[in-house]
Amino acid sequence: MTRVFSILLTFFLAFSSFGFAAEPVERIAATLNGRIIFLSDLQRDQTFFERPGENGSGEDLKKQLERVIDNRLLRFEAHRFVLQGPTEAEVQQRLKELRERFKTESALQEALRKTGLSLDELKREIGEQLWVEKILQERIYAFVFITPKEVARYYQEHAAEFDGKKQEEVEPAIRKILSEEKRMTKEVEYLARLRSHAEIQVNLQ
């Protein structure tokens, strides 16, 4: 199936390069299990869901593609295993937070125009992000535990950073740090397993 798709894509791009395409051809960033990820999908992710500090160019564009691929893999898993998806209230709350990030309604509308999304399509994308958060919570975060020994060891190894404060005083901060580290480690391991069973073809240079 992927080979047939690659052949068809080659012919399509070849004809386009000779001027036979009536409209501009949208660039394909990658395929994931036979499903296309367009460059515009990365633009939408960058506009509405990108983490601070990334600008969507050069190496950052490749990192963004990797994040979109991971996100799609988690979406597939969520729809397979999460019993209860996001509610309309949860979607509306996240949309409200997004509106606040854009400061004005006109700024949000301009972002929708540039990315070719309608408001309903954005809400569906928000819903998919919430599905991803649910699978991460149920499959990873719910199984992150920090033991008293781990807290004590971290405190001893980083005692100089706590300005003489007792372990009991800084324990909540230590637990937060250790929880984030464990979450990240387990998330990376989980995604590595998903990728090992996926067919991924990246077309970015």
Cβ atoms of 156 and 132 within 8 Å: the answer is no
Return d(Cα 46, Cα 54) in angstroms, integer: 8
Please determine, for residue 47, whether its predicted confidence score (pLDDT) is greater than 60. Answer: yes
Neighbours of 36 (CB within 10 A): 14
Q: Tell me, what CATH number does 17's domain have? A: 1.10.4030.10
Number of domains the chain contains? 1
For residue 51, name the pLDDT band (cuts at 50, 70, 90).
low
Please determine, for residue 130, whether its predicted confidence score (pLDDT) is greater than 70. Answer: yes
Rounded CA Rg of the chain: 21
Residue that wins the pLDDT comparison between 58 and 171: 171
- Percent helix / strand / coil, the chain, rounded to 5: 70, 5, 25
User: pLDDT tens digits, residue range 77-117?
Assistant: 999 999 899 999 999 999 999 999 998 999 999 999 999 99
Note down the domain range covering 72. 2-202
User: pLDDT tens digits, residue range 131-143?
Assistant: 999 999 999 999 9
